[in-house]
Amino acid sequence: MPEKPATPEDRPADRSAVRVLLRLWPYVRPVRGRFFSAAAVAIVASCLSLVIPLVLKWLVDGPVADRDPGGVWLGALYLLLLGFAEAGLFGLRRWLVARPLSSVEARMREDLYGRLQRLPIAFHDRWASGQLLSRGTTDLMLVRMFLAFPLTFLVVNGVTLLAGCALLLAQDWSLGLVLLTPVVPVVVLCSFFESRYAVVARRAQDQVGDLTTVVEESVLGIRIVKGFGRHRSQAESFRQLARLLRSTELAKARLLALIWALITILPELAIGATLVLGTVQVADGDLSAGTLVAFLSTALALRWPVESIGFLLAMSQEAATATERYFEVMDAEAEPDTAVAGGGPAAGGPDGVRFERVSFRYPDAPEGTPPVLDGIDLHIRPGETLALVGATGSGKTTLTALVPRLHEATGGRILLDGEDIALMDRERLRSLVSVAFEEPTLFSASVGENVLMGAGQDAGGAELRRALGIAQADGFVDRLPEGAGTQVGEQGLSLSGGQRQRLALARAVVGRPRFLVLDDPLSALDVHTEARVEAALREVLKETTALVVAHRPSTVMLADRVALLSGGRIAAVGTHQELLRSSGEYAWLMAGEGDGER
């Protein structure tokens, strides 16, 4: 398992949460109507709570002072109505935002998934899958929660606080000033807290990604884990990461607790001070009892908006981090669009496949290592089948991956019927070229769907039967409980290696491709099945231009000619017999199998 950095991209240490969060706007824009009306409703609801103290003031200075029971009842009714209205409005707000926000989340997730499909293999080589998974799940959930709750309430509470302060100052400006003294320290503390919290939040979310990777790897690799009795060490590494995440979460909680305590204590002290001062003023007759009641109940009504600032800021920071992590993937460079060449493709009849001085090195290869491919010159004639032979690790798979442009050649060019593939539309290129890889990958879908993935939209049952026949897969597929309709498990794990390989081969040939690239397609088959597949494959190979990676002489026999890949170059080309005579390395590679000298 290669160690992958949590986030390969360098990111600036200093970033503004607001600027990051503003990037969500394009997703929120379509639902802005409901979103803003929900915020407006919440502001009205929240400001209603500030009217309650005014009713209290009227109640205390009026009916209570006059000992008028009817007036008291009326006041109580007003208070009750205000309470109901506030609750109803908050309910309305929730109803307004719930549906649009899940659509925002869904759209962001869709975009992320689409992006992941379009990002080049080199990107996926670099990024751990758990990091990508966690961005599509946890991080998007944080974003939705932010839009639903902290964002609105930062605004709502801000407006409520301003309105409340204005009311306080209007009622008694000297008491109001005493009450407002903690504002400055609270603001300073909050901004300090915010920058600290951002760092820890980022760490926690990256660690969630690492944890997801471990879980995913051990689930996918459960056979290896069990087979080697590694469940203990696997569990240990999970535990370590989980412990790390736990300590980060605790650090987060500590920060939050600290700021919460300060934000609660400071206003509390101020309220205490105003209570003392206010009581003295009432006793001196400078202030009406009703005003003091109204003043204090306004201050108490403002406690929640103040206290909530701490965790609203915390949630916003988490959302900013999540947004940042989301856009790290969205900003990664997609497969570059094909430049439309001025010269245009050579108007060519069939010319087969040409490699011209093609070189390639992996982007993440260590400095100083020679390129895997270094000046490949090779011509596969139209309709010809060329076998590619080379020692393990010599770059055969790499070479085959260049043809459908899973990796981009770093030098030279590859021509299909005279047309430079670098200038071809990727979709068209991939409809011309069909591939089967060493490790046959199947998806959790039916057998038929897995195979027909290799064909156009209109391919049907007849093509499926033909392809299964060529791959000698029709026998075992028919014996499956539901034939070609049988679901295969994740990665096709319910099938044998040879069965999977034959389905992958069927997928490669089902679309009758012009060019066929097979990476050691028969390695997992017993000699008899292999012979039958080869016999059927011969018919297919007659119609296409094919590059077949071969380890065994029996596979080489399918080909018209053989190319030997060695030291990043094509060391020799010729028929099997010619190479056996002329190349020691080839003879050595082919030796050791009974039918090497046929």
| Spatial separation of the C-alpha atoms in residues 96 and 66, rounded to whole Å | 44
Residues 257-276, interacting with ligand ATP (CB under 6 A): none
User: Should residue 125 be labelled a site residue for ligand ATP when binding is judged by CB under 6 A?
Assistant: yes
Nearest-CA neighbor of 395 among 365, 432, 353, 351? 365
CB of 444 to ligand ATP, least distance (A): 25
Which listed residue (285, 392, 458, 526) binds ligand ATP by CB under 6 A?
A: 392
CB of 122 to ligand ATP, least distance (A): 8
User: Should residue 521 be labelled a site residue for ligand ATP when binding is judged by CB under 6 A?
Assistant: no
The item of Mg ion, ligand ATP, none sharing an interface with residue 135, based on CB under 5 to 8 Å by kind, is none
Nearer to ligand ATP, 364 or 543 (CB): 364
Candidate segments 51-59, 164-172, 388-396, 493-501, binder of ligand ATP by CB under 6 A: 388-396
Which listed residue (395, 440, 498, 521) binds ligand ATP by CB under 6 A?
A: 395
Nearest-CA neighbor of 203 among 248, 260, 270? 248
The 373-380 sheet, strands edge to edge: 373-380, 353-360, 411-416, 419-420
- Count of residues in contact with ligand ATP, rule CB under 6 A: 14
Q: Across-strand partners of 570?
A: 565
| Spatial separation of the C-alpha atoms in residues 37 and 501, rounded to whole Å | 57
CB of 396 to Mg ion, least distance (A): 5
CB of 125 to ligand ATP, least distance (A): 4
Which listed residue (297, 394, 545, 566) binds ligand ATP by CB under 6 A?
A: 394
Cβ atoms of 204 and 245 closer than 8 Å: yes
3 state SS of 433: strand
Cβ atoms of 568 and 402 closer than 8 Å: no
* CB neighbours of residue 265 within 10 Å: 11
| Spatial separation of the C-alpha atoms in residues 499 and 432, rounded to whole Å | 26
CB of 373 to Mg ion, least distance (A): 13
| Spatial separation of the C-alpha atoms in residues 545 and 561, rounded to whole Å | 12
CB of 426 to Mg ion, least distance (A): 23
Residues 336-375, interacting with ligand ATP (CB under 6 A): 362, 364-365, 372
Residues 409-448, interacting with ligand ATP (CB under 6 A): 438
User: Should residue 396 be labelled a site residue for ligand ATP when binding is judged by CB under 6 A?
Assistant: yes
Sign of the torsion angle spanned by Cα atoms 167, 173, 174, 177: positive
The item of ligand ATP, Mg ion, none sharing an interface with residue 356, based on CB under 5 to 8 Å by kind, is none
Cβ atoms of 419 and 345 closer than 8 Å: yes
**Which phi and psi (to 5°) does residue 564 adopt?**
-105, 120
User: Should residue 390 be labelled a site residue for ligand ATP when binding is judged by CB under 6 A?
Assistant: yes
CB of 533 to ligand ATP, least distance (A): 19
Cβ atoms of 508 and 521 closer than 8 Å: yes
Give the footprint of Mg ion on this chain (CB under 5 A).
396-397
Residues that bind ligand ATP (CB under 6 A): 125, 362, 364-365, 372, 390, 392-398, 438
